[in-house]
Structure 1
Amino acid sequence: MRVAPLKALYFTQFLSAFADNMIIFIVLAIMRQENYPGFYIGLVQSAFLLAYVVCAPFVGPFADRNAKSYVLLIGNIVKAAGILLLMTGISPVFSYLVVGIGAVTYSPAKYGILPELTDTKDALLRANGKIEGYTIFAILAGSVAGGMLAEYSLFWSMAVCIGLYLISMAGTLAIPRMPGNSSLRYSRALSDFISDVKLFFSNPKCRFSLVGTCSFWMSSTVLRFAFIAWIPLMFGITSLDKISMLVAVTGVGIIIGSLATPYLIPAHKYYRSYLYGLMMALIVIASIFVSNLYLIIAVLMAIGFMGGAFIVPMNTVLQDEGHRISGTGKAVAVQNFVNNTMMLLGMGIYTGATRAEVNAPVSIATVGIVLLGFVLYLHFLKKKLPSSEEPLTESTYSS
């Protein structure tokens, strides 16, 4: 395992994700300042997710064709450009769309480089846990910093974002530039992508992972905005910095869950992760009955912990199988497409529900019930997986 490049990757990813998660609270501050309607935040987030869905067929080949450290650099440049647009007064929807294009470019390389920097499946699992932990820590810190800085100064909050992207770009220089597969052709990107989607869904392990990750990210994305709407109503907290701190508690739980995953779920028993998804769904449903501020902090942390233990094994098995059958960049691109299509659907429904004045507790409970349905489907899929003790490197395809 290449320790120094991994540390550089964690550093680069942390700063980039930190800046990514400042932006949403900056947009919330802009909305408040310019009196945008409440549902507008759903449109902003949907623009970001749309970039993932539309660009998915092309960013996988781009990540696999080029050195992944170079792809990380390009992704950060595009994200910084999106912040510059926001600073010049361009619509938050369009600006965040550009940030999304940078993020979807960045993502396959972030995960796709892990198998290149690790030597064993357990090392890959540990690296996944760490990068997920650093990412969620960045979400936590970036959300809090975004809320605090946006309250202080919109200009300086955006300037800090750009500065973080620049430092993250510098960090990519410490990651080796391993050559990609130059034989890949972009002209076949769309047809190849459709074939890749079919390939991954025909693989029992990949299908299990894709269903798990899309259910997690759809639920997490909608819950984030639902809790942002619910906290002021339930607890009378209206300042962005305090709301961001409360929402970030979930991130603390995910960090702990992500880092604990290698001790809770061995790599060859990844399928057990669905049990943590089950507990996450039940706690989400129960959360709407909590009216004590200190208790809701514990509940949010528990939701995050279960989510961390749920998602890390799913990512690991997909990267391992994807690296073997078609390239990790393509695997992560398919995962991004599936995840963000479901997230876009979830945010579309949530935005419509907000416009129709459906209250936040109903939205939260609905998310929990939907997640529960996905987890029960995972239980069904588990029965079709290869032998429970089968190593990750052995795979069986369904017809």
Structure 2
Amino acid sequence: MIGQPMWSALKHQAFRWLFFSTLVSLIGSKIHRVALLFVAYQETQNAVWVSLILGAQFLAKAVLGPLLGPLADRYDRKTLMVISNLVRAFLVACIPLFAMGSMPLLMVLAFLMAVFESIYYSASNSAIPDLVSKSELDSANSLITFVDRFADVSFVALAGVLVAGVGPAPAFWIDVVSYLIAAAFLVFLPTLPGKAGKGNYFAAVAEGLRPLWQNPVLRRTVGTLALAAAFGSVEAALGIVYAIGALKIGVQGFGVLEALMAAGAVLGALITPFLIGRLSRETVFLMGLGIWGLFLASTGLFPFPLWAGIAMVAMGLLNSMFIVPARSIVQTAAPPELRGRILAAFGSTMQSAVLIGTFLAGVLEPRLGVLAVLILSGTAVSLAVLVVYVRGGIPTPLSETKAS
């Protein structure tokens, strides 16, 4: 039965090791990210370097992600995850040792960190269906979403306190230790060999991209989510402007809104597996995304702090409602020998869509104002979902149809 409780996936010992490894590494990564951006701004007093470092990370994930995807299909995914964690531990250790005073070197290290994060992403996400039963795939994906949001809620604020109190260097060393512990947990996983052959590498890259538009399940799922991300990500870019300029609640209020959204996402990760037990993944995906767009539009229609807080909790919950089933749909629709490449291309597509949304926010906000941009963006997301629904929705993957 699809729709098992979120914690049910932990009964699989191999997945437990992946879960604990992910939790530990995410805790370190959240602390590291705050320290990295703090160093970039503290050393230069120039926001341009912060943007360049973030841009370098985006470039690595969006452009190199699909090019590295074949690795997860050709080689043992367990080995790739262990190597990725060990290399990231080394790269982070380089920052407090000799990179904190050199912005170009810091940008190179951030770029390389994102490269190995992309390798880890495609290897870990393509391994999940091999570690749990089909009925518990949504539970496993909910748990991975849960630990990410839990780290946001619990450790981003702690990172700010840590960096402000004792400086960024201890934060980097905490991240180093977290990657080493995460790698140690992964040693207990079984071997997870790739199922693809080792022919021409660039042909393999292209082979992993084609299903995104040839496979109707992937085309509609990834296309719908990418279009929604292109409009919906303006919220991330304009959140600080909305809090300070429209709501008049300052930076502290912005932090509260972000925490409320993360808390809603944690709640959503708990609820989503139960919803999928009663509705199909495809229905939960479209419903969650469509209602998310309505709540985004409502933040522009009703710019009041109380409503903004309610909307942020709802949007966080709905975010888990469409992200979890979308990931499960992609994992089940992707052939096992192409899964790593397809997931890498999926991640790259989402990164590119977010960049488009950030660009739209920067172009539209000075001309229309933050409230109008939020209304238009949320409406566009809901309309995109409505069009997909009217045209027949998301097809059920053939493997799921046969199973039922």
TM over 0.5: yes
The 2-side partners of 1:21 and 1:351 are apart by 26
Which one-letter code corresponds to 1:285 in the other structure? A
- Note if contact 1:268-1:392 (Cα within 8 Å) is conserved in structure 2: no
The 1-side partners of 2:155 and 2:24 are apart by 9
Aligned residue number for residue 175 of structure 1: 189
Which one-letter code corresponds to 1:177 in the other structure? T
Which one-letter code corresponds to 1:127 in the other structure? A
Corresponding residue pairs, total: 386
1:317: Cα distance to partner? 1.2
The answer to whether residue 272 in structure 2 is matched with residue 264 in structure 1 is no
Aligned residue number for residue 275 of structure 1: 287
TM-score (norm 1): 0.84
1:278: Cα distance to partner? 1.0
1:214: Cα distance to partner? 2.7
Q: Deviations over 1:151-187 (max 9, x none)?
A: 32222222222222222122211222233347324xx
SS in 2 for 1:170: helix
- Note if contact 1:45-1:347 (Cα within 8 Å) is conserved in structure 2: no
Match of 2:20 among 5, 11, 21: 11
Q: Deviations over 1:237-279 (max 9, x none)?
A: 336xx75453132122122212211221248722212121111
The 2-side partners of 1:351 and 1:295 are apart by 25
The 2-side partners of 1:129 and 1:182 are apart by 28
Q: Report matched runs for 1:1-399 at 5 Å.
A: 3-30=12-39, 32-34=41-43, 36-38=45-47, 41-87=50-96, 88-89=99-100, 90-91=102-103, 93-120=107-134, 122-152=135-165, 153-181=167-195, 183-185=197-199, 188-215=200-227, 217-218=229-230, 222-233=234-245, 234-238=247-251, 243-266=254-277, 269-272=280-283, 273-324=285-336, 326-350=337-361, 360-361=370-371, 363-383=373-393, 385=395, 392=400, 394=402
User: What fraction of aligned residue pairs are identical, expressed as a percent?
Assistant: 18
SS in 1 for 2:191: coil
Which one-letter code corresponds to 1:392 in the other structure? E
Task: Could you tell me which runs of 5 or more consecutive residues in structure 2 were left unpaired when the two chains were aligned.
Answer: 1-8
Which one-letter code corresponds to 2:263 in the other structure? V
The 2-side partners of 1:279 and 1:176 are apart by 40
Q: Deviations over 1:319-377 (max 9, x none)?
A: 011145x43212211211221222233334445668x6985545544542443343234
> What is the RMSD of the two structures over their aligned residues, measured on CA atoms?
3.1
The 2-side partners of 1:329 and 1:378 are apart by 26
- Note if contact 2:65-2:345 (Cα within 8 Å) is conserved in structure 1: yes
Aligned residue number for residue 5 of structure 2: none
Q: Deviations over 1:112-155 (max 9, x none)?
A: 111111232x2112211222222222233343233332332222
1:288: Cα distance to partner? 3.2
- Note if contact 1:143-1:244 (Cα within 8 Å) is conserved in structure 2: no
1:107: Cα distance to partner? 0.4
- Note if contact 2:41-2:47 (Cα within 8 Å) is conserved in structure 1: no
